[in-house]
Structure formats: C-alpha cells, structure tokens
Amino acid sequence: MEYTKIEGKSIGYYGVILLFGILIAVGLFEFVKGMSIGQEDYGTSNIVPWGLPITAVVFFIGASAGALMLSSLTYVFGKEEYKPVSRISIYVAILLIIGALSTIEGELGRPERFINLMVFGATNLTSMFAVNAFLYSGYILLSVVYLWTTFREDLIRVTKILGASAAALAIFVHAGTGAIFGFIVAKELWFSPLLPVLFIIAALTSGVGLLILILTVTFRFTGHKMDEKLVVGLGKYLTAFLLIQLFFVFIENMVRTYGGLGGGEMTKFLFSGPYSFVFWVIQILFGTLVPIGILFARKTVLTVQIASLLAVIGVFAERFSLVIPGQSVPPVQVAGRAAMGFYGEPAIYSISGAEVAIILGVIGALGILYLVGLKVIKLLPSR
Amino acid sequence: MVLEAKMDRRGFLKAAGVAGAATLGVISLDKPVIRALAQGLETAREEKWVSSVCIQCPAGCGTKVRVVNGKAVKIEGNPEHPYSNGKLCPKGYAGLQLLYDVDRVKQPLKRTNPKKGKDEDPGFVPVTWDEALDDIANRLKTIRAEGKSHTVNFLSGRNQGRAGSVWGTFMKLYGSPNNIGHSSICADASKKAKSLLDGNDDYNAYDWENCNYVLNFGGAFIEAWRPTNLMLQRWAHMRRGRPVRAKQVMVDTRFSTTAIKSDEWLPVKPGTDGALALGIAHVILTEGLWDRSFVGDFKEKGRKFRIGETVAKEDFEEALTSGLIDWWNNVLINFTPGKASLITGIPAETIIRVAKEFATTKPAIAGGERGAGAHTNGTYNHMAIHALNALVGSMFTVGGVMYQMGVPYASLSIKDDEYVDDVAKNVDKDFKEHKLERIDMAKSDEWPLVSNVYQNIPDNHAAGKPYKLSVMFTYYTNPLFSNPNPQRAWEAFKDVFIVETSSYLSETALYADYILPDSYYLERWQDMAVYPSTGYPVTGFRVPAVAPVYDTRNSMDVIIDIGKRMGGKMGEYYNKLGNHENMLREIAKGFEKVPGDNGVKDFNSWAEKGAWYKKPYLYRFSNGKFYEWDGIGYNKEMKKTEEVKEEVKDGKPVKTTTVKDPVKEKLLKTKSGKFEFRSSKLEGLNDKQKDILKSKIKNPDLFAYPHFEEPTFAGMGDYPLYLSSPKMITHAEGRGANAQWLQERFGIVLGKAWSSWIELNPDKADELGIKNGDEVWVESPIGKVKTMAVINPGNPPWIVVFPFENGHWNYGRYAKGLGVNPNEIIANLSDPVSAQSCTNATMVKVEKA
Amino acid sequence: MVRYGMIIDLDRCVGCGACAVACKAENSVTSSTPEDYKKRRLMEWNRVITVFKGKYPNVSASIMPIICNHCENPPCVKVCPVDATYKTPYKSGEAAIYSAGEGEGVEGGLVLQRYERCIGCKYCMVACPYQQRFFNFYEQEEKDYHNPDVPRRITGIVEKCTFCVHRLKKAKAEGKKIGSPDGVEPACTEACPARTRTFGDMDDPESEVSKLLRSRRNYQLRADLGTNPQVYYLD
C-alpha cells in the first residue's frame, strides 16, 4: 500500500484555505470579545448554560472516537480492504479531538485559566471533566504515536497493539463524555446509565458518517478514485450502527414515558416542547429512519454519501436534543407543584451568532490543518 | 515524514502556557481582580452607621445606613425603632439604588420648550439655584400683587414629618388655601368612615400582637398594608410567635399573597365588602354575640335581635355606643346572611360561621384599607366594617383597635400666625366664609367632610371652576401618572406653571417649568412621625448619611429659601426661621420633658438612636370601663367629671357646670361621646350639604347609617370583567420603577418581573383564547392599553388584576418605556362622602392582541 | 465538629422578598435589566418562588425561598474539574486542599467558590438540582458594587450563596458568637421581617437550629436526589 501527499498548489486549494482562514478570523473575533466583555452575546442563560458549543464539543469527540475505532478495523481486525483509508481516519480523529478541545476552550468563561485543569484536575477525580481531561490528553498522545507507527512497516506489531489500545481508549473517551451527562442527578433527561452507551453508538455513527463524507470529498477533489466497494462496506457499517442507535434511543425514551425523576416534565418538554421538531424530525426521522431506508434500498457511493450526511446531521441533532432540552426545564423543587413564572417556565435557548462563530472558527482551523496535513504528510492512498 | 504530529503534551503545554500567560496579561490589565488586590493594600477605611428612616412607603421604618468612606453601602433596619426592630421590607434596601441612580436630575433645570405634552421634549437647561429661586419668587410676588395668590397650588405626596408644616406655613403666609395632599387617591374612605363613627379622622392603630382573629376586608396584610414591615413581623408573630395562633380570614377579590397565606379566603364580588360586614353584623346581633360591656344589652336579659322584628329604643340600654337600635331597625333588620350571600357571592353558611367565630374568638379585629374603600360605596363599606369592631368590643381593648398618639414635639419659637399679613388673612377669611374655594373643592358644600379631592384637580382647572391655577408646586407626587385617567391631567396641566421637586424625571417633571431637585432622603435631615400602628407614639429621624451626590437640596430648605426671597412679613418669618435643621432642633426640645423609652431626650440622642418612642398606649377599655395608664398599670379610670365654676356676671353670681368627659375628648370624639352607629356628623351637615350627598347615593334615607350602597362601575354592562389594580410589596409608591432590585422580582406570586401584566383566571383565559404570556388589549370606557396576560390559577374568573408600577415616560433608563400604566384605563369616580378615588370601580374587556 | 445549617419556616414566610433583596445588597450581586431577565440571566443567590396547585375555587399555593442548600453531598463539588467549588471542613483547623480562598478559617461545611480558580465551564451549574449557581455573563458595573467586604467577581465565572462567609469570618476574627438568635447571621436571615430563617450550628444541641430541627415539620428539598442539604424547611 503506497501513500502520497497531495501537491497542494492549485487555486482551489489556496481558495479553500483562504475560506477557512476567514472562518478562523470570525471565530477568533468572537472569542476575544468574549474574553474581554463577557459572554453576553451568547444565547446561553443561567437555566441553559450549555449551548451550541457544548453540543459541538460532544459531537466532535464522538466523531473522533468513531473515526479512530474505524481505523482499528484495518490493523486490529485485519480487514485489509480498509487499509487505504486507515491513515486518514486516524488523522481526522486527531483533528477532531483537537477541535473539541478548542471549542471547549472557546466556550469557557475564563479561557486563560484552562491551565487550572491540568494543575488542579487531579484533586477532584469525581469530576468527569477532570477525568476526561486526562483521557483526552492520553488519547491524543496515543493516536499521534499510533499514526506515526503506521508509517513504519516494521512496527506492524506495535501498530496493532496501539490500534487496539487506541480503539479501547476511544471507547472510554466517549463513554467518559457520556458520563459527563449521565452522572448528573439534577437533569431528568441525562441521569441514566445508558447515556455512555448511547454516546458510543452515536460516536460510531457520526464517526463513520463523517469519515465517509470527508473521504469521498477529499478523493474527488484530489483526483483519486474512490473504491466503491470500500464505501459500500462503510455504508454497511453505517446501517448497523444506525439500527443499534435507533434501538437505544427508543429504549432510553420509552422508559421515561412511564414516569421519571421529578415527574416527567422534562420528557414531556422533549417530546412536545419547542425543540420537539429537532428531536422527532431531524434526529429520528431524517437522522435515523431515512438513512436506514436509503441504505437498505440501494447502496451506491451517492446514496451512502447522502445517508452519511443525514446521519451526521441526525447525530448532531441528537446531541442538541440531549443538551438543550435537558437543561431547559428548571428542575422541580416541590414535587407535584408548578412553580410560577420565571422559575417554572422552560427557558428557550436560541442559537446566537457568537456561538456559531466560535464553532465555525474551530472548523476553519481544523480544515486548514487537514489540508496542510494532506500536503505535508503521506496520508492519501496513491491510486 | 511526520512533522507536526510530534507535538507532544509537554510541548503543547509549553506553547499553551506562553500563549495563555500572554493573553492573561493582556486581558487582566485593569480587571477587577487586579483592582481588588490593589484595594487590599488600602489601610484606613472609615466606616459608620447613620440613623435614617426609609421613604419607600408611609410607614416610616427606622433604618441604619452603613457608610464606608463616604459612600452608602447598605441600608438595614434600625433595631432601636419599634417599627423596624432591625428588619426592613424589600423596598427599604432598594433605597441604595435610588440614591445612586445615574439618571437622577443632577442640578436645577429650567424649561425652554413652552409646549407641554407626552411627546414634547422639555428642552431643559441647567440653571443656578439663585436664578431659579429668584425667578419663582418674583413670579409668586407678581401673582400675589394681582390678588391671585389663591391660584397657587401646592400638591403633595409623601411629605413626612415636619415637611407638611413647612409647606402648610408657606401656603398660609402666602395666602392660598390650596395646600392639597393626595390622600383621596390613597385610602381616605377608611379614615372618614372612622371619623363618622367614632370621631377619629385617622387610620386605626392595631394591637396585632394580641389579636386572635383577623377579619380582613381587602387589606393586603403582607403586601401593602402599612406599615408593611411591621405588618410582616406581626403576621409571623400571630402565626408562630406565640402559643395561640391567630386565625386570618381574608376577604378579597383576588388570590393575593395574603389570601394565599390566610386560613380562609372569601372571594367577594368587588364593592360588596360592606354587604358582607352587614351580614356578619346581623348574625352577631341575632345570635346574641355582641359585646355587652361596650355595646350594652336589652333590659330583658337573654333577649336577642330577631329577623324582621323592630326593637323599641327603650328596650335596649346602650353602654358606650349610640344609635344601635336605629341602625338595626333601619338597616340590619332584614340584612340576613342570605341577602349578603346573594350580593357578595359568599355562601350563607360561611357568613354565619365566620360571624360566630369573629364574635366569639376574642380579641378580634375587623379591618381593611383601600381594597374595600376604592369603590363608589367605599365609605359606607368601611362604616359597616368598622362597626363590627364596636359590636364585638374591640375598641381600645387588648388585641383590638385604637388610634395613634401624637408625638410631643415642642412648638417652634416662631409662630407663623404672627406673620400672616392682610392679603393672606383676607384669603383665609374668604375661604372660611366659602367665598373662595380650594381648587379641589374640598370643604365646600359638595365635599364638606373630605381632606382633599386630588383626582378632580385636572378637571376643575381645565374648566376654570372655581378658577384656573397659575403655579403648581409638586412634592413627591406625580399627578400625570398616579391620577386615575391621567390623560385628563396631560391635557389640563399644559398651561400651569409647574415647579417640580422630584430628583427623577417623572411625568410631572417632564411637564415642569422648573425642576428644583430634592435631595434623596439619605442626603437630608427630616423627622418622621410614624404611620398609625402601634398606638404609642414613635418618631424616627433622618440624619444625612452621605453628602448630596449631585447638586440637589432638601426641598424644605428650598421652600424656606423661596420664602426668604418673598419679602414682607413672609420674608421676615423665613429669615427668622433659618433652615430646616433649626426647626428640627427646636421641636426636639419637646423630648426633654418626655424622654423616650430608649433614653432619647434631645436632638443629638435622637440622631444617634434614630427613634424616639414612648410605650405604652395610654388608654384601655376593659371590663366595661375606660382606663388610663398611670405609670404602673391601666388603673386610672377615665370618668366624667363635673366642673363647677362660680363667677360673677353683671353683678349676679352665676354657676356654670361643665362636664369634662376624657373619653369624649381623647377617644370617642363624637357629639355624644360614644361610638355612633347613626352618625351625628353626617346628620350635622347643613341642608345644602345633605342634599348634595343624598343626591349621590341610592339609599338617601339611610345616609347616616352604615348600610349597603350598591356600587357603581364605569363600563358596567358593556364591559364584562372587573378591574383591580393592587400594589405589590415591591412597589414603592410609584417611585420604584427605576430600582432594579425591586423590578427584577416584582411579582413574587406569579414569578413575573420587568414588565407589567394582567392576571387572568385560567378558565376565563381559555374562554378568551389567551395563553400564558400572550399580548392582550385591555379596554375600558376610558381607553385601551396593550400588555402581557399571565394566568393566576387562584383568581376568580370575573376579575382582571393589573398591578400598578410601570408605564413611565422616563424615570430613568430602567423605567423608561417599560410596561403600561393601568391608571390610563381607570375611570375617575369618587366616593361621595370621603372623595376617595374609586380605582377599583372600572370594568374592562380583554382581547388577544 | 461544626455544621452550619439553616432552617426556613415556611409558615412564617410572608413572601415579601426582603431576603432576596438584602442578599443582593450585602453581596453586591449584579442587578439585571429587562433584557437580561428575558434571557433568563437573573442572578439571584436567594430567590422566592411560589408553587401552585389546583385552580379557583379549589386552589392553594405555597411561597418559599430557595438558596444554595450547602449540601452535605454536593453534586456541584463533585463535578468541578478544577476544584474551584469546595466544601469547607467540619472540623476547625483542617484546611481544604490548596488555598482556601474566601472561606479561609471558617469551618462548618459551607460550599464555597474560589473565584480566582474558576474557569467558567459551567459544569456545576448543570449539576445543581436547585438551579442556584449563576454565571457572570456581564462585567459588573461600578455602581453595582456596594459592600467592600465581599470580593468583586469578574465576568466569566460562576458564583453562588456563601452563607455570607465574610460575616462569619469577621465574627470569628472578632470572637463574636455565630448563629441565631443573637449571634452573627447571614444577611437573609437577619433581614427577614417574619423571622422565617434560623442559622446556626446543627452539631450544637443547644443552638436554635438544633432545637427547631426537633419539629416534625422539617424536610429537605429534593431529598430523593441524595444531596442531603444543610438547609431544612419547616412545612
């Protein structure tokens, strides 16, 4: 298996880099503004303090974990047909986790104090954030070493071991992310042992989906030919993951319809509140059912691409409908009584330009890193 | 080869550390953290606690203000003041934000735009105090020289302590009868009702601490009934602070905070409180439960009143009441619980049960203020309510009602009467002879018994009847906002020269020709004799806590200054008087003779402690007799004494016997010296006054009795819902709209703030297709306004509750443009006896916007 | 062992909100504007809510103040990644890990916040079942900072009720008694006209709070969640 770099001299290449550069500028502008005058432009509030950036963080981590687990197909499970895309998957996984950390940084109230995470994190290991900080750092390190070993044909054994450990760590990483939410007693929609599992499944779905999209687009624009069998194979994996995801989402929410912590207000809000559109239409319908239908009907590169796009959007919607509606309803103080007005009404979170700007900035940075990586590292299969 | 992938953790940290430190450095410059660190290096910090009195309501709760380095940082209750006891209601703390409000008027202003209107820019330019005061003094002198001094009007709101007398003296010396307060838009019906029955033209004082049953007609006990702070304390004491828990029965038209916390809520139909009281009175008499030591008894023991059966006067011997039999025979005889139930909507069994409980659970108090009074039958409602106190023997007893004693201030050494010149004397003579009337027609034949008719001034001025005003001084009052149907004032006051003292840009300030900004209460000297409640006298003291933040002056000193510039005898008086602080020093001398319980005996000790008070209330009714406090106990019986004077007149020895009745002099100040169920004061009106009154009521034959007058509502028939406009506990008398701490938790029961709203019953809202939070139009015969609808699950379906606070044209950045003013849809009706403004007497309809 | 707790007697509470305003005044908590309020960014270390049941004519309501419950098993302390929120030790003399910050020397199990360490991740805010942690979205205006005894908070960090630890610290330094009825109390307790609240050491059997805890009316908010608040309500 031969890998190449891309030339990276065309106008298109520089044009896309410029575009991403603009996104970075926009993101940086909002970030610096937030640092100096506070997060007043965000759509978050004291009831919904976690908004779109956290959704994006969780999404990125999930996609990263999924992409990494996919690369382990080659080296750990020995499926040689996926070798062409193995390096790029690892690279994409590394980029995505870096993207997640950058988004967290952009979302912090005091970004300059993130050092405190390293210094004090070990003192409070009941905090999933702190645990995750160590997990993510280890994950990045491991993935980088893993990527490096794939360049060394002689270290194929090591690669296999690293691949396995990286995949295992990916599972822990994303289970850890799920545990951030799953361990919170206060939120009815979050407090569940199923959440880490759900997150892993969503990670796989979004990882595969995102990977399919990135790969097909990259191959197209760099003049390589995409192996249809490869894509269809990935599509089969995608179908499986979507089905499992549907199952878990169903279980999770079905139980809640029978009653829940605090009287089921949050479940009601999710199913029939202002964000029910996101839940039912985007996540369930277009994000899960439609892609499953497409993939069962026909598997071509195009249909797989479309299904992947829908699945990725669906997973993002799933993160959204977990994070936002999960916080919107103020927790019940006196069981069975409705708190009046401001203290009982659900808080409506609206997406603000500032938050979108931060995420776009991060995407811009990732895009540039990706393109530069393609040019500088031998990631693409030479065919 | 692999390049940047070699970025390992350490390298990452290094790079991040550098970047982070750099950013931190840049961002942290001038950040509060650095400033705070710097502050920690400060050594000296001058701190003191200054006595003051809160001004957010009429209660007069003493406060202590913490001042650090010349800046006020916290207001707390004064433990020395018997109304505060170290506590404050939420409004008290917010005074801090009003003091340092950046939108205050910072210096005297003069108007340059001659046009006045809601959307007119006044074009204020700053002037010096001397310019302004000279101009005003000259204007006043000119008016006086033209013989029109009576056209100058002083309109006041919260003029506490001696402020009232400063303004009163000014008007007296200047020569105008128009020293007009605002009590007619407050709760005058309650005061006048009491004056008609027991001769005391005042609010009751209450011995809540010992009361065991409270029958409350529309008084928001724990929201706005004054003195609010003390009421909150007493409530908690009555419920959990002593072995016997008092029962609270709330008679109200809405599910208020008090109704929520009471034991029973009786949701009466608006304006029918009097009927409920009469029904209860009927039950008390028919069940034989009246207090025989106060009221008296049938000569035939054991006899009770019977429905439909008249009683002969000789059959009943009244003790300290008079007119009971007439009242029974004319009013109560057929006013059964069933009849009361039909009128009020309260089930008859409930009325009977409550009446029995009220009469047998002693001591019991029947009370209420603006709720039952702000109707066209307000005075008669309150007469019926207050009569209940007499029937169950709660007058002047332990746990009953009484009246607030005055504070023994020394009089001023300079008597203003000696400086009244001929012009002023003539005006006063004309006024007393009814050749000259007040602008609000108070004390005329139309309104013989009232204190003022604040709400009619715009109409009277617009019509020029009795005359047009020339100059109007306003002090702590905002007629263009607080009047019902203020649109009349917007139109009428366009041609009046207004001198406003507010330090905030109120509506009246925007109409003013001069703004002479008053120092906020924390910046000035003032005394404050409390609102009636404890019975024993209390007076608080305001010591300036901080130097004036802006170029403002205490309005009382401003008036004294204007007075000095008036020349003549008036000028002499004011020059001799000096300033307001002098006045306070003089009146404080009265404490030398009567030192307070906490040792306050002069100006300095009064300033230090912040309150003078002397317990106990001096009078008590028990076991059928009135007693006075003799220093040890209520042992001195207040007996009638006969004074025989022998003198020689025209050479012949003449014996004159005068009967001195201390009870009549001090407590039951009626013609008969008793509690009169048939008011001699009303019957003592002259024929013309009686005719006018009788023409305004529906039962003219019963005009002297507490009876049920059917209330009139503006819009009845065309508009289906009753409008109620209560005050929330966070509402500071129309002067709190710019206090963020109050606005951000304005409606505690409904969890709504920073907006105005109307409350709707959930079924009624469904019927109208309105959901919680929808924008709605509220329309009355006067106009319509748009606001937010909120569902209050507790309110009856026939009522719309519209709290009063917002809708200002300016008043600061937080108040400007916020919400709407319910007064803009409230009709201007007045109770015929007390001139109480009937703000609860408008009907509305509500539509989705 | 000192365990500071608070008893709130809901039968006494008159729903006036003086506690809420006194707290804002004492702790210089940022005031809100109408826009902030619409965006649900009201900072209320102490809030008063009303809960309803039913509707006219069979309606009842309850008014209750809610503050940080200073839980014995605090979900917020568990989740803070930088240990910025911490619980002071019950035994005097024991120091919390690293610098104690504002609560230095004060024992009693108060849950406090190290403003200088907080990174503003808001994890504690979603963890609190009582919704009593607040994020500084704005830079505090100079006119909003009144009491020089409390530290200024900067934008981007989380803050909450401290049981007026600055008062307790001062009382300890001056040797004054702490706890109702005649000792130093938090501002809300001192301010309440209805004497709804009692503050003191729950481990001291002679203290007012311990005596009130003998009432059968006592309960904790959301006890089902296992947070074990140190704030008790009397029904």
Residue found by looking up tokens 């069962």 in the block: A296
- For the record, the structure tokens of C36 come out as 């902030």
Buried b (16+ CB within 10 A) or exposed e, C51-83: bbeebbeebebbbbbbbbbbbbebbbbbbbbbb
**Amino acid sitting at position A187:** K
Q: Is residue A310 pLDDT above 60, yes or no?
A: yes
Q: Which residues contact B408 (CB under 8 A, 6 or more apart)?
A: B537, B590, B591, B593, B594
Partners of residue C131 in chain A, C-beta under 8 Å:
46-47, 330-331
Residue found by looking up tokens 């999933």 in the block: A128
Neighbours of B415 (CB within 10 A): 11
- For the record, the structure tokens of A163 come out as 């691949």
Q: How far apart are CA B317 and CA B195, in angstroms?
A: 24
C152 reaches A (C-beta below 8 A): no
**How far apart are the two ends of chain B, measured CA to CA in Å?**
69
- For the record, the structure tokens of B467 come out as 């005359």
Q: Are the beta carbons of A374 and B3 closer than 8 angstroms?
A: no
Partners of residue B791 in chain A, C-beta under 8 Å:
none
Q: What is the pLDDT of residue C107?
A: 86
pTM confidence score: 0.92
Q: Where are the alpha helices (DSSP H) in C12-143?
A: 18-27, 34-38, 75-79, 123-127
Q: What is the pLDDT of residue B6?
A: 44
State the burial class of residue B839 (Cβ atoms within 10 Å of its Cβ: 0-12, 13-18, 19+). Answer: buried
Residue found by looking up tokens 């192996």 in the block: A227
pLDDT tens across B791-815, in order? Answer: 999 999 999 999 999 999 999 999 9
Average pLDDT of chain B, as a whole number: 92
Q: How far apart are CA C39 and CA A349, in angstroms?
A: 8
Q: How far apart are CA A62 and CA B588, in angstroms?
A: 78
Residues 29-48 of B with CB under 8 A from A: none
Name the packing angle between helices B90-99 and C18-27 (round to 10°). Answer: 40
Bridge partners of B787, per DSSP, are B776
C82 reaches B (C-beta below 8 A): no
Q: State mean pLDDT over B408-412.
A: 92
Q: How far apart are CA A154 and CA A143, in angstroms?
A: 18
Residue of C nearest to B66 (CA): C147
A251 reaches B (C-beta below 8 A): no
Asked if C63 lies within 8 A of B236 by C-beta distance, the reply is no
Buried b (16+ CB within 10 A) or exposed e, B307-343: eeeebeeeebebbbbbbbbbbbbbbbbebbbebbbeb
- For the record, the structure tokens of B783 come out as 């106009």
Residue B21: phi and psi, rounded to 5, are -65, -40
Q: How far apart are CA B738 and CA C161, in angstroms?
A: 25
Q: Are the beta carbons of B184 and B829 closer than 8 angstroms?
A: no
Residue found by looking up tokens 């940047």 in the block: B4
Q: Are the beta carbons of B830 and B185 closer than 8 angstroms?
A: no
Please provide the size of chain C in residues.
Answer: 235
Q: Where are the alpha helices (DSSP H) in B266-308?
A: 273-286, 292-295
Q: How far apart are CA B322 and CA B709, in angstroms?
A: 22
Domain ranges of chain A: 3-381
**Amino acid sitting at position A250:** F
**Amino acid sitting at position B608:** E
pLDDT tens across B137-150, in order? Answer: 999 999 999 999 99
Q: How far apart are CA B300 and CA B303, in angstroms?
A: 6
Q: Where are the alpha helices (DSSP H) in B81-146?
A: 90-99, 129-145
Average pLDDT of chain A, as a whole number: 89
Asked if B748 lies within 8 A of C16 by C-beta distance, the reply is yes
pLDDT tens across B694-733, in order? Answer: 999 999 999 999 999 999 999 999 999 999 999 999 998 8
Q: What is the pLDDT of residue C100?
A: 54
Q: What is the pLDDT of residue A18?
A: 92
Q: State mean pLDDT over A253-281.
A: 85
Q: State mean pLDDT over C28-46.
A: 93
Q: What is the pLDDT of residue B39?
A: 46
A240 reaches B (C-beta below 8 A): no
Q: Are the beta carbons of B485 and B456 closer than 8 angstroms?
A: no
Residue A141: phi and psi, rounded to 5, are -55, -50
Q: How far apart are CA A322 and CA A178, in angstroms?
A: 11
- For the record, the structure tokens of A145 come out as 């070493």
Looking at chain C, which subunits does it touch, using at least 3 CB pairs closer than 8 Å as the criterion?
A: A, B
The pairing of beta strand B497-500 with beta strand B514-515: parallel
Considering chain B, what percentage of its residues have pLDDT values greater than 90?
A: 89
Q: Is residue B650 pLDDT above 90, yes or no?
A: no
Q: Are the beta carbons of B452 and B442 closer than 8 angstroms?
A: yes
Asked if B33 lies within 8 A of C116 by C-beta distance, the reply is yes
Best residue in C38, C39, C80 for a mutation probing chain A (most A CBs within 10 Å): C39
Cis peptide before B662 (omega within 30 of 0): no
Q: What is the DSSP annotation of A302-364? A: HHHHHHHHHHHHHHHHHHHHHHHHHHHSPPPSSTT-EEPGGGTSPPPP---HHHHHHHHHHHH
B750 reaches A (C-beta below 8 A): yes
Q: How far apart are CA B480 and CA C112, in angstroms?
A: 49
Residue found by looking up tokens 């069975």 in the block: A336
Residue B681: phi and psi, rounded to 5, are -65, -40
Residue of B nearest to C61 (CA): B260
- For the record, the structure tokens of A227 come out as 């192996």
Q: Is residue B781 pLDDT above 50, yes or no?
A: yes
- Local structure of B332: helix, strand or coil: helix
Q: How far apart are CA B318 and CA B223, in angstroms?
A: 38
Residue A2: phi and psi, rounded to 5, are -105, 140
Residue of C nearest to A324 (CA): C126
- Local structure of B635: helix, strand or coil: strand
State the burial class of residue B432 (Cβ atoms within 10 Å of its Cβ: 0-12, 13-18, 19+). Answer: exposed
Residue of B nearest to C26 (CA): B74
Between A379-383, B164-168, B521-525, B630-634, the lowest mean confidence (pLDDT) is in A379-383
Bridge partners of B205, per DSSP, are B402
Q: What is the pLDDT of residue B246?
A: 97
Between A40-54, B569-583, C88-102, the lowest mean confidence (pLDDT) is in C88-102
Q: Is residue B539 pLDDT above 70, yes or no?
A: yes
Q: Is residue B1 pLDDT above 70, yes or no?
A: no
pLDDT tens across B337-393, in order? Answer: 999 999 999 999 999 999 999 999 999 999 999 999 999 999 999 999 999 999 999
Asked if A341 lies within 8 A of B751 by C-beta distance, the reply is yes
Cα dist from B419 to A139, B173, B427, B739, C212, whole Å: 94, 7, 14, 43, 64
- B19 confidence band (pLDDT: 50, 70, 90): low
Q: Are the beta carbons of A205 and A66 closer than 8 angstroms?
A: yes
Residue A374: phi and psi, rounded to 5, are -60, -35
Neighbours of B723 (CB within 10 A): 28
In eight-state DSSP terms, residue B553 is B
Compute the nearest-CA separation of C176 from chain A (Å).
Answer: 34
Model ipTM over 0.90 = yes
Q: What is the pLDDT of residue B345?
A: 96
Asked if B751 lies within 8 A of A94 by C-beta distance, the reply is no
C59 reaches A (C-beta below 8 A): no
Q: Which residues contact C103 (CB under 8 A, 6 or more apart)?
A: C86, C88, C96, C110, C112, C162, C165, C169
Partners of residue B57 in chain C, C-beta under 8 Å:
none
Neighbours of B38 (CB within 10 A): 9
- State which fold the A3-381 domain adopts: Formate dehydrogenase/DMSO reductase fold (1.20.1630)
Q: How far apart are CA B560 and CA B579, in angstroms?
A: 7
In eight-state DSSP terms, residue A123 is G
Query: By C-alpha distance, which of A65, A91, A165 is closest to A369?
Result: A91
Q: How far apart are CA B139 and CA B145, in angstroms?
A: 10
The pairing of beta strand C111-113 with beta strand C85-87: antiparallel
Q: How far apart are CA B81 and CA B531, in angstroms?
A: 13
Considering chain B, what percentage of its residues have pLDDT values greater than 70?
A: 95
A94 reaches B (C-beta below 8 A): yes
Neighbours of B138 (CB within 10 A): 12
